[in-house]
Amino acid sequence: MVLEDYRGKGVGKMLIEKAKQVTQGLNCRAIVLETQTNNSAVEFYKKRGKIPRRSLLGDGFIGFILWKVQMTFLAHPKPLGLR
């Protein structure tokens, strides 16, 4: 939570970036945040392109995936059984 006096000054964005750095260093695959639906944080995350998801906490809560590992799969030039 960012105190009201510090909102709109980039503190929330810095906290998210720091969380990404820390979790990447720990080999985490994602950061998932859950908040109450009547919280001003909901608009903060939506403005940053985060898509609301159903919360595991139930009614009155909403979830956001703040960061996740992007998986890339490369096609092998030849199928394994045809070498």
Report field, pTM of the whole predicted structure over 0.75: no
Tokens 């898509």 belong to 51
12 within 8 A of 46, measured Cβ to Cβ:
no
**Which are the contacts of 16, defined by CB distance < 8 A and separation ≥ 6?**
48, 66, 67
How many independent structural domains does the chain possess? 1
52 within 8 A of 64, measured Cβ to Cβ:
yes
What are residue 62's DSSP bridge partners?
A: 35, 54
**CATH code assigned at 12:** 3.40.630.30
Indicate whether 74 belongs to any domain: no
> 16 is in which domain, residue-wise?
4-69
φ/ψ (deg, to 5) at 41:
-65, -25
Per-residue pLDDT of 2-53, as tens digits, reads 888 998 899 988 988 898 888 888 888 888 888 888 888 888 888 888 888 8
Indicate whether 78 belongs to any domain: no
